[in-house]
Structure 1
Amino acid sequence: MTYLLLALFGGVSGITTVLFGFGGGFVVVPVLYGVLISGAGGALAEQAAMHVAVATSTCVMIVNASLSTRRSARAGTLLKAWLWPLGGFIAVGALIGAVAAGFVSGSVLRAAFVIYLAITIVDCLCRRGFVSAACKGEPRRLSRWSVGPGGIVIGAIATFLGVGGSVMTVPLLRRSGLSMTQATSMANPLSLPVALVGTATYMLTGLSGNALGAGYLGYVNLGAFAVLTLGAWFGMRLAARWVGRIPDQLHAQSYVGLLVVVMISMVLV
């Protein structure tokens, strides 16, 4: 029953990866956290539930973001000039965030996850430029502050929380004048540095402490990773037909609505 639940929500993570650039973190972290605190992963994993959920999320994100990036590249929705050097600064921040997460408790990680979601939702609803496009015509290029220090902050927060960075990159790109289709497509390749650096760090830091038992590599739950990834593959195939067909404003409103659902679910777990 547990694996069936994970497969189902893996499918949801695949859909949100393609349509919203989430990469899977906002779905995987609350679901896997709930599964682990129920004792399904063993006593040690229950104690480290939030760390395992975040680490497994970044691992799933590697596959989800890679497949979605490949699809976006074939469809021509990627704006390659916007990917670098922003992606490089995000990678630097990702290393900082992953290391920092190893020094805090699971309850702190969970509280940070909820607080960050709440701030993002309020920002998207109250500040102009997200629900309705910020500008018409050619998009504005990102400033040096947004690319450099901004990229490091994005990488650090995203890896610390295991959410990929789309919750920051999508609003940032949206307010620069990109459509929701473009902004969400760009979020996936920009999540790859977070996924790769975060997964490697969580594996190594997890191995340096108490082993969680068979089926774990560091903090990564390999069984959950496999099931979630398989479900995500089906979800991405299902969602691909809707790319570019959702009205822009409805797309933005749906993005915010999903953040609200995830925040509520995390509070209630």
Structure 2
Amino acid sequence: MLRLLFAAYLLATLADTLLRKGFVSVAEPERPRPLGRGTVTFGGAGIGLVAAGLGVGGSVMTVPLLRRRGLPMAEATAMANPLSLPVAAAAGLVYALAPTGPAAGATGALSAGLGRLGYVDLGAAAALLLGSVPTIALLRRVTGRVPDRIHSAAYIALLVIVLIVMLALDF
């Protein structure tokens, strides 16, 4: 069920980025328009609730919001990506401290303790970290040189790829 909810979330975000003006190409204002107090309060809380409920970072919804306020793609993603850290930290802590084993309803590989901390696969976490840190170091030097329109199109393409893979795994 969670996977289908996340797919619906991606579909809504894709529809938002493609159907409403201001994501793929942003008119270059003299300066971005600030977010209003209501948007920061209620929008932030809404994004946080959806992100926490789905176990994802809020940047997928925050980037389109910041783009519509006039930020270039590189700045919108740079500002939105740190929002994933608190969600990831909280989720990681919950999964690491979650009881495992038959008493908790876990079966098979999930109840195995070797190489795991709760439901966190330490080997997979290490592989993700070892692969992502050098990639981040390399790409942060290149990101500023990517034209804004290509960066926004690539963002949409990445969301489409994630959606296709998720749907393919369900069928």
- Asked whether the two chains share a fold, i.e. TM above 0.5, the reply is yes
Query: CA offsets, 1:112-156, max 9 Å, x none?
Result: 111111111111000011111155111111122221121122122
Q: 1:246 aligns with which of 143, 146, 150?
A: 146
Q: TM-score, normalised by structure 1?
A: 0.56
Q: Equivalences for 1:95-110 in 2 at 5 Å?
A: 108-110=1-3
**1:213 matched to 2:106:** no
**1:125 matched to 2:18:** yes
Query: CA offsets, 1:92-122, max 9 Å, x none?
Result: xxxxxxxxxxxxxxxx111011111111111
Name the SS for the 1:236 alignment partner.
helix
Between the aligned partners of 1:144 and 1:194, the Cα distance in structure 2 is 22
Between the aligned partners of 2:99 and 2:131, the Cα distance in structure 1 is 26
Question: Offset at 1:206?
Answer: 4.5
Question: Offset at 1:199?
Answer: 1.8
The residue aligned with 1:151 is 44
8 A contact 1:170–1:187 mirrored in 2 = yes
Moved over 6 A (4+): none
| Structure 2 segments unaligned to the other structure (5+ residues) | none
The residue aligned with 2:9 is 116
The residue aligned with 1:229 is 129
Name the SS for the 1:243 alignment partner.
helix
The residue aligned with 2:34 is 141
Name the SS for the 2:12 alignment partner.
helix
Question: Offset at 1:250?
Answer: 1.2
Question: Offset at 1:158?
Answer: 1.7
Question: Offset at 1:238?
Answer: 2.4
Between the aligned partners of 1:167 and 1:199, the Cα distance in structure 2 is 19
Aligned partner of 2:112: which letter?
A: G
Name the SS for the 2:23 alignment partner.
coil
The residue aligned with 1:200 is 93
Say if 1:145 and 1:203 are closer, same or farther in 2 by CA, change over 3 A: farther
The structure number with the bigger radius of gyration is: 2
Aligned partner of 2:93: which letter?
A: A
Percent identity over paired residues: 51
C-alpha root-mean-square deviation of aligned residues, in Å? Answer: 1.8
Q: TM-score, normalised by structure 2?
A: 0.86
| Structure 1 segments unaligned to the other structure (5+ residues) | 1-107
Between the aligned partners of 1:133 and 1:166, the Cα distance in structure 2 is 18
Between the aligned partners of 1:119 and 1:206, the Cα distance in structure 2 is 34
Between the aligned partners of 2:26 and 2:44, the Cα distance in structure 1 is 22
